[in-house]
Structure 1
């Protein structure tokens, strides 16, 4: 998991901005780089415990969804909310590509840089401070974009999604992993207990930080998968797939820039479909 937003939300469309979410009316520290600085030291340990060790497998699914084998060799992948670089490293270990990881938490990045160095991947993985809502990158400059467990922390999700669409080359993929609260099914009550009770308790016991209470609230406030997929579409990403995993506790959203399809429509070409 990794941090994302740097400022507090101030209204906006449902699902696209954090109106009515745990961030509204709270300190800008909630969901911010500063908040993730406070929990950086034990962040990886908490990830493993909170996810019961499943988070690494979820990241592998995100890497697979990029379909980098079909892209030109030696390309570049952007990993937003990179945190301690778990997903950035998974991408670089699986494919011969360069990975740029961006995150607003310097302490998370410092841990990530040590992990990159330990993995002997400093030549292909670079990490830097940045904001997913305002990327200092050229249009169509990366072959794929990933974001694991960070989009729910972004004040203006639609703006971040538009940035992802802007910097991704035609045919490239955007893969977003996000936690969600199952609302139906026999295991939904168990999942809700884990999110509302176990997650904040583990966080307070192991890290001594109240920030994990925010984690629980942010998961509960994240829109249902079908609603977030609509935000992606409205932000310039055609949906390739929406894949619930682990009984719906996590969802993998995969999209591709829709500008090529829209250009075809504007010139009388074929119609673009949605997955």
Structure 2
């Protein structure tokens, strides 16, 4: 990150630059694994027809629309992001797939200060964005606040492989190859140089479990995915 530049400012700059290419690059750089990870996450998401969900830091809206499919036309999903350029892509995708504003609402807002009342949603998700926020615990507490008692807080995020040999191979790809591919694809070095930087100080899978508990969530579980390069975390808000 640039010296003295607030993290939120730099992250906003990064994603505003790559919004149009974000989906293609995600698929390319993850070898299409991110789609399988999201399907796995949806199988663990306790959403019913007519339910309400919020997808925090929704980006281009892929998980938002998966949630909308799960709740059906009787339910409602909010996709929130602080980057208008990402939301513009999500809006185009939403309209192309035939979702109405009665089913899906896209909101420009701050994950650190969600503009919703307590106990508003059945599920709150965040996908591949928790490592980009200024304070992970604050975001988890906000997500816990807006879900109903018994509701789920779910994070799908890049992680750190636990096997030493696999970690060394993965880190070579992630820190050396990914920024190079990204710079060739978008014509700029900065956006994809940020990707490995964002993971360096991010908690590993077990430490992130602890932060879920510190946020007041119960029954916290995590699942390493594809050798631990990603992880799914789930916590439940305590019943009243």
**Same fold flag (TM > 0.5):** yes
Alignment partners' CA distance in 2, 1:254 and 1:225? 11
1:80 aligns with 2:56: yes
5 Å-filtered alignment, 1:62-81, equals: 62-69=41-48, 73-81=49-57
Aligned pair partner of 2:215 in 235, 242, 250: 235
Matches within 5 A, 1:1-275: 25-28=4-7, 31-69=10-48, 73-96=49-72, 97-122=75-100, 123-209=102-188, 210-258=190-238, 260=239
Could you tell me how far 1:28 is from its partner in structure 2?
A: 4.2
**Which whole-Å CA distance do the structure 1 matches of 2:4 and 2:68 have between them?**
39
**CA distance in 1 between partners of 2:70 and 2:143 (Å):** 22
> What's the offset of the Cα at 1:185?
4.1
The number of residues matched between the two structures is 236
Instruction: Work out the CA distance in 1 between the residues paired with 2:56 and 2:39.
Output: 16
1:68 match: secondary structure: coil
Distance 2:47 2:197 in 1: 34
Q: Is the contact made by 2:128 and 2:157 (CA closer than 8 Å) also made in structure 1?
A: yes
Cα RMSD (Å): 1.8
SS in 2 for 1:91: helix
Quote the offset at 1:183 in angstroms: 4.4
Q: Is the 8 A contact 2:8 2:134 kept in 1?
A: no
* Contact 1:62 1:146 survives alignment (8 Å): no
TM-score by length of 1: 0.81
Q: Deviations over 1:39-83 (max 9, x none)?
A: 1111111100111011111112222222113xxx41210001100
The answer for unaligned runs of 5 or more in structure 1 is 1-21, 264-275
Residue of structure 2 in register with 1:266 after alignment: none
**Structure 1 residue 26 displacement after superposition:** 3.9
- Whether the aligned pair in 2 keeps the contact of 1:92 and 1:125 (CA below 8 Å) is yes
The answer on whether the counterparts of 1:177 and 1:252 sit within 8 Å (CA) in structure 2 is yes
- Tell me how far apart the structure 1 counterparts of residues 10 and 35 of structure 2 sit (CA, whole Å): 22
User: Is contact 2:57–2:80 with CA below 8 Å preserved after alignment?
Assistant: yes
Divergent runs of 4+, >3 A: 22-31
For the residue of structure 1 that corresponds to 2:200, the secondary structure is: helix
